[in-house]
Structure 1
Amino acid sequence: MRVLHTSDWHLGRILYKEPRAQDHDTVLQEIIAIARTDKPDLIVHSGDLFDHARPSYPDQERALLVLQELETVAPVVVLRGNHDSAYLFRLFATAAGPHSRIHYIDSPRDPKNGGVLRFPGPDDTVLRLAVLPFVHANRHLDMLADPDRWQSAYTERIGAMERELADELFRDFDPHREIAMFAAHLHLNGSNLARSERKAHIADYYATDTAHIPEVSYAAFGHIHKPQPLPGKVTGCYAGSPIQLDFGELGETKSVVLVDAEPGRPAQITLRELSGGRQLRRFHGTLDELRSQATLIGRDLCHITIRTDAPDLTLSEQVRTIIPDATVLEVITDCPGQKLPILSPDPETAGTEPSMPALFDDYLSAHGSKTVTADAVSRVFADIWSCLEEERPFLMPEEHTLTQPLSANPSLPTEENL
């Protein structure tokens, strides 16, 4: 059986106030064309369909139209990623109806009740697919406990889920006619980060153990944006994002993964390269050096730093004249003796306004905390903010914290000890 694996579309992404819709339109049409040409028996999207839990109506329409096109080729499984809304996925599933070939996996499922899906293939073969969407850490660990315990607590919980899925995946498994696969949206220890992932969800305590992955023919992973084989012994890939989402992905070649699997044989993996829409480019040099590279830049999305001997108020206009077809995201002056205000001083992570957790971290950096570690306070705040954005309830680790005043719970951050 043949499986097409894609991931991390992040529809609705904005970079330096520049919407990436036209880049997504380009690459999504490529993915549809690859599906029609290579004719997979199953299509797996391993999470982060959207960039925000509340995507715009045009982005929702864009996603649904592409998934419906893919559905005409083969059944489609879409996992909820850490950027996606479980409520929206359930709405999509309800609207699609029980007979749709698009399967929206909005939350972890009981292995015996939707956690393992089965898809018939040619010659009486059957593909069994265990599914595990993103799992938020606040449901499974005490965010105010010793930070050294966070990673082990989360890893142990995810490992238990994976073992339960594996038990059902291989229950009465016939290796002569069945194929086992696993799809998940997780951060694996040892993976190579792109630095464009959501910082709060690639913290050390979110890194899970590769040893817990079921021993399947292929493991389709999402969450990390840099395309790469999975660390560890299990055959699998992070499909990565289909476009360069941020400057942490500068120069990357994007792709989707084609997996050819037969019962009792190792899966064969083939990458189908994508154009990725407009490429990202960072330039640092003089105007003359920019002119010499203008033909190479073309329609790229550019972060430009120009070295000058004296201040020049027309610098931005000159840059845009030299590279008229490019999208200039920002122009910065590198002039000796003068420092201009830079709204985004770090091009590696810039491109959007600072998040509320980032601003709160700035506050903690300046003021600190007295009786609770600043790291613990930061994690709790980031988790609360994530719950607000994704319309999820914030679950406190201990029931008594909901009934006792803050003064009776010295482990909790209060106005006095922040």
Structure 2
Amino acid sequence: MRVLHTSDWHLGRVLHKEPRAQDHDEVLEEIITIARTDKPHLIVHSGDLFDHATPSHPDQKKALLVLQELEAVAPVVVLRGNHDSASLFRVFATAAGPRSRIHYIDSPRDPKNGGVLRFPGPDDTVLRLAVLPFVHANRHLDMLGDPDRWRSAYADRIGAMERALADELLRDFDPRRDIAMFTAHLHLNGANLSSERKAHIADYYATDIAQIPAVSYAAFGHIHKPQPLPGKVTGHYAGSPIQLDFGELGETKSVVLVDVEPGRPAEITLRELSGGRRLRCFHGTLDELRTEAAAIGRDLCQVTIRTPAPDSTLSEQVRAIIPDATVLQVIPDCPGQTLPIVTPDDGVAGIEPDMPELFDRYLASDGTKDVLAEPVSRMFADIWSCLEDERPFLVPEEDTLTQPIDADLRRPTEENL
């Protein structure tokens, strides 16, 4: 059987106020063409269909139309990623109806009740696919508890889910006709990161590759850089189909074609994707920019220009030199003048900070009053994640964040009444 593995489309992405819709249009048409040409028996999307939990109507329509085009080729399985809305996936599944060949996996499933899907193939082969969408850590962890336990607690929880899925996946398994696969939206310890949401690739989200079921191929999503899975497991992060952020600068994007047969190792082929504008950072003089103008073409550019003195017409000059490019930012670089550029503290250039990171910078500069900054930071990140993912936030006991206050100050007295 042949499987087409794609992931992390992030429809609705905006970079420095520039919508990526036209880039998605190009690359999604390319993926449809690959599917029609290579004729897979199954198509797996391993999560993050959208960039936000509340995508626009045009982005929802685009996703549905593309999935329908793929469905015409083969059954499609779509996992919910950390950016996707479980409720929206349920709406899509209801609208598609029980006879649809598109399977929306909105939440972890009982292994015996939808956690393992079966797809018939040629010559009486059967492909068994265990599915595990993104699981939020704050549904299983005390976020204000001991930080040293977060990583092990989340990894243990995911490991238990994977073992339960493996038991069902391999129950009554016939190696002469059955094929085992696993798909998940997870951060595996040892993966090479690029521009993922920081809140969902923290250390406590890293999971153990040793817990992955014994399968012919593991189709993973969540990490945007296309790469084989770490360790000895046969599988891939398909990665994002376009360069989503400057943290992915220079990455070659692709989808994965997997040919699997009972009792034989999987054959993996990468189909490179060329659709969509590339990202480019330029740092040099205006004359050097003129020299590179032809090579820049229609790229999405962050341009830093060295000048001997401040020049109010710099942006206009840059855009005149590279008229076909989309200039996202023009940054002057001249003696005696500085322009603050917002970059993450971890040193990965070009990735825009998210709201929890900005809040941490506020805490670093202004601090908190009467309470520890670390639990406040964790709670803010948790609240922000709940808002983006349309989930309720469970407020802990009121005194959790007030424990550092002197007990005497909380006793009613004549002085503080």
TM bin (shorter chain): over 0.9
1:237 equivalenced with 2:250 (yes/no): no
The separation in 2 between residues aligned to 1:337 and 1:351, in whole angstroms, is 26
Do the aligned residues in 1 keep the contact of 2:305 with 2:333 (CA within 8 Å)?
yes
- Amino acid of the residue matched to residue 364 of structure 1? L
The separation in 1 between residues aligned to 2:291 and 2:405, in whole angstroms, is 56
Counterpart of 2:106 in structure 1 is 106
Do the aligned residues in 1 keep the contact of 2:79 with 2:106 (CA within 8 Å)?
yes
1:344 equivalenced with 2:342 (yes/no): yes
The separation in 1 between residues aligned to 2:316 and 2:79, in whole angstroms, is 44
Do the aligned residues in 1 keep the contact of 2:30 with 2:275 (CA within 8 Å)?
no
Deviations 1:234-276 (A, max 9, x none): 1000000000001111111100000000001110000000004
Structure 1 SS opposite 2:318: helix
Call closer, same or farther: CA 1:202–1:351 in 2, change over 3 Å.
Answer: closer
Do the aligned residues in 2 keep the contact of 1:139 with 1:395 (CA within 8 Å)?
no
Any residues of structure 2 matched to 1:322-333 within 5 Å, and which? 322-333=321-332
1:55 equivalenced with 2:55 (yes/no): yes
The separation in 1 between residues aligned to 2:262 and 2:244, in whole angstroms, is 37
Counterpart of 1:64 in structure 2 is 64
Deviation, 1:383, is 1.1
**Pairs aligned (count):** 406
Do the aligned residues in 2 keep the contact of 1:305 with 1:333 (CA within 8 Å)?
yes
- Amino acid of the residue matched to residue 99 of structure 1? R
Counterpart of 2:390 in structure 1 is 391
Deviation, 1:349, is 5.6
1:185 equivalenced with 2:181 (yes/no): no
Deviations 1:361-407 (A, max 9, x none): 122212335776533321221111111222112245x7xx3xxxx24
The separation in 2 between residues aligned to 1:30 and 1:148, in whole angstroms, is 45
Structure 2 SS opposite 1:107: coil
Counterpart of 1:175 in structure 2 is 175
Deviations 1:145-176 (A, max 9, x none): 11110000000000000000000000111110
Deviation, 1:358, is 2.6
Structure 1 SS opposite 2:327: strand
Deviation, 1:77, is 0.1
Deviations 1:329-384 (A, max 9, x none): 00000011122x445356956575x5432332122212335776533321221111
Deviations 1:218-245 (A, max 9, x none): 0000000000000122100000000000
Deviations 1:73-112 (A, max 9, x none): 0000000000000000000000000100000000000000
Do the aligned residues in 2 keep the contact of 1:282 with 1:302 (CA within 8 Å)?
yes
- Amino acid of the residue matched to residue 175 of structure 2? P
Structure 2 SS opposite 1:182: strand
Call closer, same or farther: CA 1:246–1:394 in 2, change over 3 Å.
Answer: same
Call closer, same or farther: CA 1:114–1:349 in 2, change over 3 Å.
Answer: farther
- Amino acid of the residue matched to residue 342 of structure 2? S
Call closer, same or farther: CA 1:210–1:179 in 2, change over 3 Å.
Answer: same
Counterpart of 2:307 in structure 1 is 308
1:128 equivalenced with 2:128 (yes/no): yes
Structure 1 SS opposite 2:218: strand
Do the aligned residues in 2 keep the contact of 1:17 with 1:351 (CA within 8 Å)?
no
Do the aligned residues in 2 keep the contact of 1:78 with 1:104 (CA within 8 Å)?
yes
Call closer, same or farther: CA 1:158–1:371 in 2, change over 3 Å.
Answer: farther
Counterpart of 2:15 in structure 1 is 15
Counterpart of 1:205 in structure 2 is 204
Counterpart of 2:413 in structure 1 is none
Counterpart of 1:164 in structure 2 is 164
The separation in 1 between residues aligned to 2:335 and 2:405, in whole angstroms, is 45
CA RMSD across the alignment:
2.1
Counterpart of 2:278 in structure 1 is 279
The runs of 5 or more residues in structure 2 that have no matched partner are 411-417
Call closer, same or farther: CA 1:349–1:62 in 2, change over 3 Å.
Answer: farther
Do the aligned residues in 2 keep the contact of 1:8 with 1:49 (CA within 8 Å)?
yes
Counterpart of 2:414 in structure 1 is none
Counterpart of 1:295 in structure 2 is 294
- Amino acid of the residue matched to residue 278 of structure 1? R
Do the aligned residues in 1 keep the contact of 2:93 with 2:104 (CA within 8 Å)?
yes
Give the TM-score normalised by structure 2: 0.93
The separation in 1 between residues aligned to 2:268 and 2:214, in whole angstroms, is 16
- Amino acid of the residue matched to residue 104 of structure 2? Y
The separation in 2 between residues aligned to 1:20 and 1:279, in whole angstroms, is 11
The separation in 2 between residues aligned to 1:411 and 1:44, in whole angstroms, is 48
Any residues of structure 2 matched to 1:138-153 within 5 Å, and which? 138-153=138-153
Do the aligned residues in 2 keep the contact of 1:187 with 1:223 (CA within 8 Å)?
yes
Counterpart of 2:267 in structure 1 is 268
Do the aligned residues in 2 keep the contact of 1:115 with 1:131 (CA within 8 Å)?
yes
Do the aligned residues in 2 keep the contact of 1:294 with 1:323 (CA within 8 Å)?
yes
Call closer, same or farther: CA 1:101–1:411 in 2, change over 3 Å.
Answer: farther
The runs of 5 or more residues in structure 1 that have no matched partner are none
Counterpart of 1:376 in structure 2 is 375
1:321 equivalenced with 2:320 (yes/no): yes
Do the aligned residues in 1 keep the contact of 2:247 with 2:350 (CA within 8 Å)?
no
Structure 2 SS opposite 1:241: coil
Counterpart of 2:46 in structure 1 is 46
The separation in 2 between residues aligned to 1:22 and 1:115, in whole angstroms, is 35
Counterpart of 1:92 in structure 2 is 92
Deviation, 1:410, is 5.1
- Amino acid of the residue matched to residue 297 of structure 1? I
Counterpart of 1:251 in structure 2 is 250
Deviations 1:48-74 (A, max 9, x none): 000000000110011000000000000
Give the fraction of aligned pairs with identical amino acids, expressed as a percent.
79
